[in-house]
Structure 1
Amino acid sequence: MKVGFPRSPARRRIVTACFLSVLAIALTACGGITSSDDDDRKVVLTTFTVLADMARNVAGEHLRVESITKVGAEIHGYEPTPGDIKKAAKADLILDNGLNLEAWFNQFVADLDVPHAVVTEGVATMDISEDAYRGKPNPHAWMSPVNAQIYVDNMVRAFSDLDPDHAEAYRANGAAYKTQIGAVHDDLVAAVRTLPADQRALVTCEGAFSYLARDAGLTEKYIWPVNAEQQATPQQIGSTIDFVRQRRVPAVFCESTVSDAPMQRVVEASGARFGGVLYVDSLSEADGPVPTYLDLIRHDANTIATALAGTAK
């Protein structure tokens, strides 16, 4: 996944101009925001699949929830298509994560007459601590089940404003879902608590697990803080190798949406095992390992705990 900051001012101006041109054509062609199928429910559009799953749990049967990006998509540097523009023009509400995760979508939303809600409102953010993005908020706040419950509260409010007739249902759905999320948080903490104190270190490719590490009581180390076009400098890899050796970290990890080649170099040089693939920005298909947000957190917690404990198969 690539960071959602502009790659270059010139390219960003060109891309934005193209988007606006296509947007004007799309709006004219679709003639408004009415749906072309028989489903007359209001449409909630989210920027990525994790938010879509959370939103469906809150919406229940009363709203149709769709994701702009598909399963497996790289969210940070995603570039919207004309089809995405048409979807957004027809939506009744757009949800995004904010915190610079989807900077590609900011101009997109600004030129649409569609209600918009940022689901991280009220979240206590953690700052990125290194490199060019030092001091900017880490956008991966949903990786904390504690934060995820704030996401749910924001969705309940947004859906109730959009569809007041079903506000009570949204509140009830949100409360039930928050109970499930709380249980996942408890399981995460319990899984890590079984590890010896000197093994409670989480080493990943990108610094996308800061919130999860905080919740679970893990010391975090990563190769690069934020995904960018140029990744894994020799200095970053060397620093990670030193950390793994000094802490005798038994296993290291990488995310599903990036190449694990840099981490494999850490494995070769440090003697640690590759503990497995973790999921952050995208769910899997329905028959995959993480078809829902709750599955994503459970999968990551189990993968981390079993690999660090040396019990992974």
Structure 2
Amino acid sequence: MISKRLLLSITLCASTMAATLPASAETLKVVASFTVLADVVKQVGGDHVHVTSLVGPNGDPHEFEPSPANARNLKEANVVFVSGEGLEGWMDRLISASGYQGKPVVASDGVTLRTMEEDGKTITDPHVWNSPVNVKVWVANIAKALAAADPADAGAFDNNAKAYTAKLDALDAYARSAFDKIPEDRRKVLTSHDAFGYFGREYGVSFLAPIGISTESEASAAEVAKLIEQIKQERVKTYFFENSNDPRLVRQVAKATGAEPGGELYVESLSDAKGPAPTYEKMFRFNVDQIAAAMRKSS
């Protein structure tokens, strides 16, 4: 039979050990605005986060219409991530409707942004993730925000961030290797809308598109005619459509120019789990392979 003195000693020892161990944090409820960002948050957060993406697979973050379920997820979140730079024009309305009291973390803070002229205005291109160099900035911001919400697991977030940053460096090297072998005057393709600016800036690829940075914008007949003439002059041979928006206009332009289909690209949304781009890493490699193969064919 255990004596009272021995039982007291065991209890005190257990209490002392518990006091010296780091607190075990609960899994963070995290919301990300769209699938690409959600995947990167998962890579950094690991087992310590449960991530919900507001925009689902193959969804368009420009034209997204939030649902009551989105509002509930947002209200219950410990941390909310957006890419920022005008991508999520619907987020402020959703925050007001949901009653969420926090402030979203802008993952793109610190990215060297690209601006362009559209409809007589200077606007910022929000599609920063199409360069893994920019996604490294995302990773640093995500790790910092998760550590602030869950200090007990800060070391795990830091280790995950370092490991994923190494993967992003490998993606960057992969793309450079693919495009360095292609003559510069053949690095031109036609896409649905202007979402590959950062990709083009990194790898010397020119992307022509009938629609500007947002799929909500519309191209005039004069703008389409001008683009068709440019494609003919520059001898652009291949067009791609995108998984998250309507391909009819780009097909119309391609038909008028004789450009051949190169397939589907994943630009601002991942595929579902059964598709070729269920993670950011797979999405980027898939896009590089598709674009480079089309360029090699046209060369």
| TM-score interval (norm. to shorter) | 0.7 to 0.9
Correspondence for 2:179 among 167, 172, 192: 192
Q: Is the 8 A contact 1:52 1:67 kept in 2?
A: yes
Instruction: State whether structure 2 residue 254 is matched by structure 1 residue 281.
Output: no
Correspondence for 2:114 among 103, 120, 126: 126
Q: Structure 2: how far apart are the matches of 1:309 and 1:129?
A: 31
Q: Structure 1: how far apart are the matches of 2:135 and 2:188?
A: 23
Instruction: State whether structure 2 residue 40 is matched by structure 1 residue 51.
Output: no
Q: Structure 1: how far apart are the matches of 2:126 and 2:103?
A: 22
Correspondence for 1:160 among 144, 147, 164: 147
Q: Which amino acid aligns with 2:118?
A: E
Q: Structure 2: how far apart are the matches of 1:285 and 1:256?
A: 11
SS in 2 for 1:139: coil
State the partner residue of 1:141: 128
- Per-residue CA distance 1:248-301 (angstroms, 9 max, x = gap): 122122221122222222222212212111111211111101000011111111
Q: Structure 1: how far apart are the matches of 2:259 and 2:49?
A: 47
Q: Under a length normalisation based on structure 1, what TM-score does the superposition of the two structures give?
A: 0.83
Q: Which amino acid aligns with 2:166?
A: T
Q: Is the 8 A contact 1:92 1:115 kept in 2?
A: no
State the partner residue of 1:206: 193
Q: Is the 8 A contact 2:192 2:247 kept in 1?
A: yes
SS in 2 for 1:174: helix
Q: Under a length normalisation based on structure 2, what TM-score does the superposition of the two structures give?
A: 0.86
Q: How many residues align?
A: 273
Instruction: State whether structure 2 residue 257 is matched by structure 1 residue 292.
Output: no
SS in 1 for 2:158: helix
State the partner residue of 2:296: 309
Instruction: State whether structure 2 residue 85 is matched by structure 1 residue 99.
Output: yes
Return 123-132 or 203-212, whichever deviates more: 123-132
- Per-residue CA distance 1:222-265 (angstroms, 9 max, x = gap): 21213354623222222222222111122122221122222222
- Per-residue CA distance 1:3-23 (angstroms, 9 max, x = gap): xxxxxxxxxxxxxxxxxxxxx
Q: Is the 8 A contact 1:204 1:253 kept in 2?
A: yes
State the partner residue of 1:11: none
Q: CA deviation at 1:159?
A: 0.5
Q: Is the 8 A contact 1:250 1:310 kept in 2?
A: no
Q: Structure 2: how far apart are the matches of 1:112 and 1:202?
A: 42
Q: Is the 8 A contact 1:224 1:236 kept in 2?
A: no
C-alpha root-mean-square deviation of aligned residues, in Å? 1.9
SS in 1 for 2:117: coil
Correspondence for 1:86 among 72, 76, 84: 72
List gaps (5 residues or longer) in structure 1: 1-38
Q: CA deviation at 1:115?
A: 4.5
Q: Structure 2: how far apart are the matches of 1:159 and 1:49?
A: 18
Q: Which amino acid aligns with 2:28?
A: K
SS in 2 for 1:113: coil
Correspondence for 2:102 among 95, 114, 120: 114
Q: Which amino acid aligns with 2:85?
A: L
SS in 2 for 1:65: strand
Q: Is the 8 A contact 1:43 1:91 kept in 2?
A: yes
Q: Which amino acid aligns with 1:62?
A: H
Correspondence for 1:257 among 244, 250, 254: 244
List gaps (5 residues or longer) in structure 2: 1-24
Q: Structure 1: how far apart are the matches of 2:75 and 2:249?
A: 40
- Per-residue CA distance 1:132-178 (angstroms, 9 max, x = gap): 6x312111001111000000000000001000011111011001101
SS in 2 for 1:205: coil
The percentage of counterpart residues that share the same residue type is: 31
Q: Is the 8 A contact 1:128 1:137 kept in 2?
A: yes
Q: Is the 8 A contact 1:275 1:308 kept in 2?
A: no
Q: Which amino acid aligns with 1:261?
A: R
SS in 1 for 2:253: helix
